[in-house]
């Protein structure tokens, strides 16, 4: 079923507000979620609302947090979200990082004590809108076997990057350090679709195409992805004095408990390193040159990172966002949640 982005945003906002979030916090959550759906990243959009609503309703997200922001140096700071909703905390921390980078050229802001924050592309997009480079990364609960191992230790630990251009278009990279994010498995389940056998393994450690048999995810490019997810865990966990590795709290184990997650934003102001106009023009030239490269067999065009999502967004802006019927029915219902996530095995049906 297709739905206009404005209507979808209002439905999501109403649902998490009914669950217990303030209007202000619910507005940001809905904005981050519709951003994901609009760009075709459905694994981080409307399908997440019921989980958030259940956790909010059961007290696992602080609906009246005592937020603090402390500058620890000219270009460094800690933002403590007091276990409030992650989307709001990550956005506010990025706003602070952008202001610091305007003044000092670089900002590194650690975000402590937050819940799941959704698609990282939303936050680095904010930096690009300010004509700056954005980098964001966050830890997640253990679902990935380390290279050479048979038991999960790290999470999907995503990284996002953005760079602005002279035309207003942006390069945006948003990727899990696994072959695919766990949300992609959930999306496959919601549509009863199979998955490639390179995404995950079953209980025996063997590759599987059945999203319901997944018992662990695989790091991207073997040892390289393993190294990246370790880096993310150190920078958004250990560096901030938070739980790390297989000690990171589960998304589902106890929805009455705070998650204490960490995230790290890095913002770089190009004007402190080179001529800003020249930088923006070279990014534009890079994008154009990539588009003009002769495509390989089976491809129509070389696209720069983020461009496929831009194309999807333009289509959804015209035609409405495609949402699974069952999810849309839930959003339109009076039900806050159906009590289906608490103490759930993340790999269970």
3-state helix, strand, coil in the chain (%, to 5): 40, 20, 40
How crowded is residue 239: how many other Cβ atoms within 10 Å of its Cβ?
Answer: 14
Measuring CA to CA, which residue among 129, 144, 166 is closest to residue 35?
A: 129
Residue 160 is inside which H or E element, if any? Answer: strand 159-164
How crowded is residue 38: how many other Cβ atoms within 10 Å of its Cβ?
Answer: 20
Q: How many CA atoms lie within 13 A of 67 on its CB side?
A: 18
Chain mean position to CA 195: 21
Q: Using only the alpha carbons of the chain, give its radius of gyration.
A: 20
Alpha carbons 13 and 282: distance in angstroms, whole number = 39
User: Is 116 among the residues known to form the active site?
Assistant: yes
* Four-residue CA torsion sign, 97, 131, 86, 228: negative
How crowded is residue 296: how many other Cβ atoms within 10 Å of its Cβ?
Answer: 7
Rounded to whole angstroms, the maximal C-alpha distance in the chain is 55
Catalytic residue among 17, 35, 44, 116: 116
How crowded is residue 31: how many other Cβ atoms within 10 Å of its Cβ?
Answer: 17
* Residues labelled as active-site residues: 116
């Amino acid at each position: 079923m297709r739905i206009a982005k404005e209507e979808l945003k209002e439905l999501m906002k109403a649902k998490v507000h009914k669950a217990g979030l303030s209007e202000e916090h619910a507005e940001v959550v809905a904005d981050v979620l519709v951003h994901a759906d609009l760009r075709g990243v459905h694994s981080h959009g409307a399908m997440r609302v019921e989980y958030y609503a259940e956790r909010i309703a059961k007290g696992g997200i602080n609906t009246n947090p005592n937020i603090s922001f402390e500058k620890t140096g000219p270009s460094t700071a800690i933002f403590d979200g007091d276990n409030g909703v992650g989307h709001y905390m990550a956005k506010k921390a990025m706003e602070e990082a952008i202001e610091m980078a305007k003044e000092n050229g670089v900002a590194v802001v650690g975000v402590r004590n937050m819940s799941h924050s959704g698609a990282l592309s939303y936050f680095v997009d904010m930096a690009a809108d300010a004509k700056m480079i954005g980098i964001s990364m966050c830890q997640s609960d253990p679902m990935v076997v380390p290279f050479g191992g048979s038991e999960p230790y790290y999470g999907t630990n995503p990284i996002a990057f953005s760079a602005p251009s002279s035309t207003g278009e942006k390069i945006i990279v948003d990727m899990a350090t696994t072959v695919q994010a766990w949300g992609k498995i959930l999306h496959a389940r919601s549509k009863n679709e199979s998955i490639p056998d390179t995404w995950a393994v079953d209980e025996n450690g063997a590759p599987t195409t059945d999203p319901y048999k997944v018992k662990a995810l695989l790091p991207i490019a073997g040892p390289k992805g393993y190294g990246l997810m370790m880096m993310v865990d150190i920078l958004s966990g250990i560096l901030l004095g938070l739980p790390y590795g297989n000690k990171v709290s589960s998304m589902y184990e106890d929805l009455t408990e705070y998650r204490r997650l960490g995230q790290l934003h890095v913002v770089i102001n190009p004007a402190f390193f080179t001529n800003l106009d020249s930088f923006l023009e070279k990014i534009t030239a890079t994008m154009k040159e990539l588009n003009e490269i002769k495509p390989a067999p089976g491809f129509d065009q070389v696209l720069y990172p983020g461009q496929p999502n831009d194309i999807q967004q333009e289509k959804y802006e015209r035609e409405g966002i495609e949402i699974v019927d069952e999810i849309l029915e839930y959003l339109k219902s009076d039900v806050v949640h159906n009590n289906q996530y608490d103490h759930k095995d993340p790999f269970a049906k």
